[in-house]
């Protein structure tokens, strides 16, 4: 595993740090900015626009895209350095699913018309995308999805439902998987389509989580017509398009850095907080904090393991499952430790005056409950590790 930068990586890291120092508005790293809510005022939106413009001038809104499509053309190792430094600076992301997911798929499988229509709008921040994958009966077993797309002349007619659709209430477009051949084996009868969210027959209903955030939605399709030209790749081959993301940096280093930041904030709170002139924290809680810091650094080392593999042309498999499993369960442990540390103050959510750390601890505690379900359950990841990593037989 590689821990140190090559000379080229070190030079690029210095370039990224200099760029951040000269261009990132300080407001985004101040306690006043709520990273969970995003920009809420005209001033914050203007600052975010300035940050986006600076990134766009270097092609760093989509750093891993080829330059001819408005990206930065970075190598996998440069992507890792870029992501790590942006996370260390707490710099806000501006690309969303358009940059991270559908953009790369269109670059490799989209038609010339699709690329021309969608890619410039993604890097220009004109369009936001959401992902239509999960369904009420198709989560971990996504290939069992039942949303139908039936060809009718120059259109597909879509009927069905998607759930846990992040950002659908704000998105302009959705990339979705739908069943186009109900008689084929479940992985082979699925197609990917691009759908305008303003299409007649599309309805979006909010799903409010435990932390009172509106991030998720359920989306219903009632005879929605999607032009056949919006088919991505071949009909009935949509399931396999997701493999295109394997060539991009997928170490999740941004999340592991954020995890360490959270633990450092808890340490700082424990050092400063006193009750009746004495530190209120027990020895047990202090030991827990040390355990959480060790785990946060292990999470980062797992990210380094993945990027070391990718730099040598090896595609991570069970290693990515190890990373996701450990990170998501560590997040939950960090949140529980934080709640022990702040005690009854955990009942205050985002109260700027009384809630410790502006309510981030209690908010994280509520949002991390779902982390071992979203993006691959702990059970699924353990199965991957057991069968592909340890060579154990399937149960």
Cα 240 to the center of its chain, rounded Å: 20
The C-alpha atoms of residue 191 and residue 175 are separated, in whole angstroms, by 10
Per-residue b or e along 261-298, where b marks 16 or more CB atoms closer than 10 Å to that residue's CB: ebbeebbebbeeeeeeeeeebeeeeeebbeebbebbee
Using an 8 Å Cβ cutoff, are 178 and 191 in contact?
yes
The C-alpha atoms of residue 301 and residue 289 are separated, in whole angstroms, by 19
Q: Following CA atoms 58, 64, 65, 70 in sequence, which dihedral angle do they give, to the nearest 10 degrees?
A: -10
| Contact residues for 342 (Cβ-Cβ < 8 A; gap 6+) | 269, 356, 357, 361, 362
Mark whether 268 is an active-site residue: no
Among residues 44, 135, 235, 249, the one annotated as catalytic is 249
| Contact residues for 239 (Cβ-Cβ < 8 A; gap 6+) | 143, 177, 187, 188, 190
Nearest to 54 by CA among 106, 91, 87, 105: 91
Length, in residues, of the chain: 395
CA distances from residue 288 to 193, 258, 269 in whole angstroms, order as listed: 47, 18, 14
CA distances from residue 106 to 63, 230, 315, 383 in whole angstroms, order as listed: 16, 11, 21, 31
Q: Which two tokens stand for residue 382?
A: 């353990």
- Give catalytic residues, as residue numbers: 249
């Amino acid at each position: 595993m590689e821990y140190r930068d090559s000379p080229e990586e070190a030079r690029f890291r210095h370039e990224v740090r200099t760029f951040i120092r000269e261009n990132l508005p300080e407001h985004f790293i101040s306690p006043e900015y709520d990273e969970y809510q995003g920009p809420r005022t005209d001033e914050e939106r203007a600052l975010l626009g300035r940050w986006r413009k600076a990134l766009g001038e270097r092609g760093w809104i989509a750093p891993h895209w080829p330059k001819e499509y408005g990206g930065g053309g970075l190598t996998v190792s440069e992507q890792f350095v870029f992501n790590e430094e942006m996370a260390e600076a707490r710099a806000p992301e501006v690309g969303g699913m358009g940059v991270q997911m559908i953009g790369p798929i269109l670059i490799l499988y989209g038609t010339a018309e699709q690329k021309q229509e969608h890619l410039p709008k993604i890097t220009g921040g004109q369009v936001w995308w959401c992902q239509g994958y999960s369904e009420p009966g198709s989560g971990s077993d996504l290939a069992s999805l039942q949303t139908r797309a039936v060809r009718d002349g120059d259109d597909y007619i879509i009927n069905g439902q998607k759930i846990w659709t992040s950002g659908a209430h704000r998105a302009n477009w959705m990339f979705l998987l739908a069943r186009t051949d109900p008689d084929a084996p479940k992985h082979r009868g699925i197609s990917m389509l691009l759908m305008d969210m303003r299409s007649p027959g599309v309805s979006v209903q909010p799903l409010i989580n435990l932390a009172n955030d509106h991030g998720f939605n359920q989306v219903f399709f009632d005879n929605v017509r999607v032009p056949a030209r919006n088919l991505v790749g071949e009909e009935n081959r949509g399931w396999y398009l997701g493999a295109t993301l394997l060539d991009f940096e997928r170490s999740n280093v941004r999340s592991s850095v954020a995890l360490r930041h959270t633990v450092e904030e808890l340490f700082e709170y424990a050092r400063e907080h006193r009750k009746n002139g004495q530190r209120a924290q027990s020895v047990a809680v202090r030991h827990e904090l040390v355990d959480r810091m060790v785990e946060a650094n292990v999470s980062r080392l797992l990210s380094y393991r993945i990027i070391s593999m990718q730099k040598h042309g090896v595609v991570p498999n069970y290693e990515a499952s190890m990373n996701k499993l450990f990170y998501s369960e560590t997040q939950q442990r960090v949140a529980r430790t934080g709640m022990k540390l702040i005690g009854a103050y955990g009942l205050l959510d985002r109260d700027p005056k009384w809630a410790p750390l502006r309510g981030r601890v209690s908010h994280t505690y509520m949002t991390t409950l779902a982390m071992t379900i979203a993006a691959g359950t702990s059970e699924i990841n353990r199965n991957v590790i057991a069968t592909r990593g340890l060579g154990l037989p399937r149960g």
